[in-house]
């Protein structure tokens, strides 16, 4: 018996992968390997999740598929394999555990309400067959009650939370789980081939054409590229036409790289760019913590006084926003980027969200749902937190009386209209002076440049100044 194995060591364990599609620095896999004689890994394409996806050409499903293909190959190189199942995880995980004679299933915490319910159900099923579910913190640096106020309550303001987070951070919380030391405990077995996208009921997307790198190696490539640019992140991150962000959010969402690896890199990189990037990682923990303590925020305003804002119900305006046809070029460019690529620059997420709520007076939940369907990096807590921030209904949100001006945002962050022209090609010939508000281009110039407002590019849905007054009145009416 190897010396690190206690007498109670399970003969066979199952490591259930979910939001952690990697082999390295992986809490559940580490504990499974260290405390078992033979570990088999499994991923479930969960029909309880997939059936709710309205678009069967979903880049996220394809991203997962490519990442699993790499993971399966790497496990095969180690003499093991990966079970990839299709069906309800609540049925398939207990079933597989029983089939392989596992007495333990290891996984990492998932904090979303539906996932918590799923895991509780799986644990109950496993218990009936004398199998235990072990779960570990992995997708955040600090969870649940690890960062609390002096009074023992959760923080509701980001800056003091961040200060407490940074104060508590040390090498213990950043150290990697050395899974590779225990790879000998991976079970030797062969699993069926990876099911095709078609077999899963999904179609191929433009993921390959977009050259989005997938899997563990894709994450490593992006981090190496970002390491050349992180020093300027604090400034460059605001300009959508510039390659200023890390592009790692989808990898963080699906765990092809660990949050510890990124936070570790940020703390060692030094400089203002690295500090600002680390703050973005802290925001991620903050929103996860809020969801854990206040699950009611899903579908409801964090601030009760703004739960029943008198939003208008104009579905035509919403369709125009979704399709990038509002008449405000930066808003339209951002929405078209999302529709074409599944990615949206963070500055533009704030701009388009503010426009939906505070220029069109449409319900933030409509926008939240649209992002949930289209974002490659969709994460329930961050998406809800971001939308409630922009809508001024959330925790430590943008004050309700502070309203982004889509024209000045455009002038400030895409001054030459480079990003606009990339996604709104009908404005390619528009002079820089007019590209942020093309309806101000004189009619004779419109004809000369083949930019006819109201014909080949829409007129603005609303006048920002008028819309701003309506929004202020809407929020004032809701205040207690």
Residue 12 lies in a domain: yes
One domain for residues 124 and 153: no
| In-domain check, residue 194 | no
pLDDT band at residue 270 under the 50/70/90 scheme = confident
Arithmetic mean of pLDDT over the chain: 96
> Do 274 and 339 reside in the same domain of the chain?
no
Instruction: Check whether 289 has a pLDDT greater than 80.
Output: yes
Q: Is the pLDDT of residue 185 over 60?
A: yes
Residue at 208 is within a domain: no
How many CB atoms are located within 10 Å of the residue 334 CB? 28
Q: What is the pLDDT of residue 10?
A: 64
Smallest CA-to-CA distance from 96 within 107, 108, 84 is with: 84
Domain boundary among 269, 293, 317: 293
pLDDT at 6 over 60: no
What per-residue confidence (pLDDT) applies to 59? Answer: 98
Residue 161, domain CATH: 1.25.40.80
185 domain residue, yes or no: no
pLDDT number for residue 132: 97
Q: Is residue 151 located within the same domain as residue 90?
A: no
Question: How far is it, in rounded angstroms, from Cα 409 to Cα 278?
Answer: 25
pLDDT tens, residue by residue, 277-287: 999 999 999 99
Q: Specify the pLDDT at position 7.
A: 42
Grade residue 304 by pLDDT with cuts at 50, 70 and 90. Answer: very high
Domain of 457, CATH number, reads 1.10.579.10
Examine the pLDDT at 1 and tell me if it is beyond 60. Answer: no
Assess whether pLDDT exceeds 50 at residue 170: yes
Work out the average pLDDT over 259-272.
96
Residues 222 and 245 in one domain: yes
Whether the pLDDT of residue 99 is over 90: the answer is yes
Other CB atoms closer than 10 Å to residue 36's CB: what's the count? 25
Is 345 in the same domain as 470? yes
Whether the predicted pLDDT of 362 surpasses 70: yes
**Residue 210 domain flag:** no
Encode 227-243 in three state secondary structure: HCCHHHHHHHCCCCCCC
In this predicted structure, the answer to whether residue 369 has a pLDDT above a threshold of 90 is yes
3-state helix, strand, coil in the chain (%, to 5): 50, 5, 40
Does one domain contain both 329 and 431?
A: yes
Q: Is the pLDDT of residue 187 over 70?
A: yes
Are residues 285 and 355 located together in one domain of the fold?
A: no
Domain at 70, CATH number: 3.40.50.620
**Which pLDDT does position 2 carry in this prediction?**
37
Q: How many domains does the chain have?
A: 3
Kindly indicate the confidence band of residue 4, based on its pLDDT and cuts at 50, 70 and 90: very low
Reply yes or no on whether the pLDDT at 258 is more than 80. yes
Q: Does 193 reside within a domain? A: no
Q: 370: which residues sit within 8 A by CB, 6+ positions away?
A: 322
**Does 402 reside within a domain?**
yes
Do 265 and 362 lie in a common domain?
no
pLDDT at position 3 over 70? no
DSSP β-bridge partners for residue 46: 87
Reply yes or no on whether the pLDDT at 156 is more than 90: yes
Q: Read off the pTM.
A: 0.95
Split at pLDDT 50, 70, 90, the class of 96 is very high
pLDDT for the residue numbered 398: 87
At which residue do the structure tokens 């490591």 appear? 15
Same domain assignment for residues 467 and 347: yes
pLDDT in tens, 21-35: 999 999 999 999 999
Whether residues 333 and 468 fall in one domain: yes
User: Distances from the Cα of 291 to the Cαs of 60, 131, 154, 209, in angstroms?
Assistant: 22, 29, 11, 35
Q: Are residues 283 and 273 in the same domain?
A: yes
Q: Which residues have a Cβ under 8 Å from the Cβ of 272 and sit 6 or more positions away? A: 234
Instruction: Answer with the one of 293, 314, 348 that is the final residue of a domain.
Output: 293
User: CA 214, CA 212: separation in Å to the nearest integer?
Assistant: 6
Q: Is the pLDDT of residue 469 over 90?
A: yes
Residue 271 and residue 401 in one domain:
no
Q: Is residue 96 part of a domain?
A: yes
**Of 139, 157, 191, which residue is a domain's last?**
139
| Averaged pLDDT, 355-373 | 98
Segments forming the whole domain that contains residue 61: 1-139
User: What pLDDT shows up at residue 67?
Assistant: 98
Which pLDDT belongs to residue 479? 76
């Amino acid at each position: 018996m190897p010396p690190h194995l206690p007498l109670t060591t399970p003969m066979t364990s199952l490591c259930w992968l979910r939001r952690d599609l990697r082999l390295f620095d992986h809490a559940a896999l580490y504990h499974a390997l260290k405390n078992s004689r033979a570990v088999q890994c499994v991923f479930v394409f969960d029909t309880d999740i997939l059936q709710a996806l309205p678009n069967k050409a979903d880049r996220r499903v394809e991203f997962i598929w490519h990442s699993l293909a790499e993971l399966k190959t790497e496990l095969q190189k180690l003499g093991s394999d990966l079970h990839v199942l299709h069906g309800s995880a609540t049925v398939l995980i207990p079933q597989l555990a029983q089939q392989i004679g596992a007495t333990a299933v290891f996984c990492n915490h998932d904090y979303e309400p539906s996932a918590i319910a799923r895991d509780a159900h799986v644990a109950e099923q496993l218990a009936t067959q004398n199998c235990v579910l072990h779960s570990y913190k992995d997708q955040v640096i600090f969870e649940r009650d690890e960062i609390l106020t002096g009074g023992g309550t959760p923080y509701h303001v980001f800056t003091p939370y961040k200060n407490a987070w940074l104060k508590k951070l040390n090498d213990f919380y950043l150290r990697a789980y050395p899974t590779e030391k225990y790879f000998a405990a991976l079970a030797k077995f062969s699993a069926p081939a990876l099911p095709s996208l078609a077999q899963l009921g999904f179609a191929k997307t433009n993921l390959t054409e977009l050259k989005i790198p997938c899997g563990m190696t894709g994450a490593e490539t992006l981090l190496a590229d970002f390491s050349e640019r992180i020093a300027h992140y604090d400034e460059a991150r605001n300009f959508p036409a510039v390659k200023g962000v890390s592009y790692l959010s989808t990898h963080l969402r699906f765990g092809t790289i660990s949050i510890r690896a990124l936070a570790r890199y940020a703390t060692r990189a030094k400089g203002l760019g690295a500090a600002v990037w680390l703050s973005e990682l802290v925001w991620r923990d903050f929103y996860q913590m809020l969801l854990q303590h206040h699950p009611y925020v899903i579908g409801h305003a964090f601030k009760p006084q703004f739960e029943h804002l008198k939003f208008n119900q104009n579905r035509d305006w919403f369709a125009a926003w979704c399709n990038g046809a509002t008449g405000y070029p930066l808003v339209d460019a951002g929405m078209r980027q999302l529709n074409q690529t599944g990615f949206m620059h963070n500055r533009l997420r704030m701009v388009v969200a503010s426009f939906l709520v505070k220029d069109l007076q449409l319900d933030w939940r409509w926008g939240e749902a649209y992002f949930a369907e289209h974002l490659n990096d969709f994460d329930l807590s961050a998406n809800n937190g971001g939308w409630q921030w922009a809508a001024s209904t959330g925790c430590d949100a943008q004050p309700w009386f502070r309203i982004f001006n889509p024209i000045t945002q455009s002038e400030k962050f895409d001054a030459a209209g480079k990003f606009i022209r990339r996604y709104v090609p009908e404005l390619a010939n528009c002079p820089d002076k007019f590209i942020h508000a093309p309806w101000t281009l004189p009619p004779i110039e419109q004809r000369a440049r083949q930019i006819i407002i109201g014909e080949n590019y829409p007129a603005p849905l609303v006048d920002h100044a008028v819309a701003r007054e309506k929004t202020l009145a809407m929020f004032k009416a809701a205040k207690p």
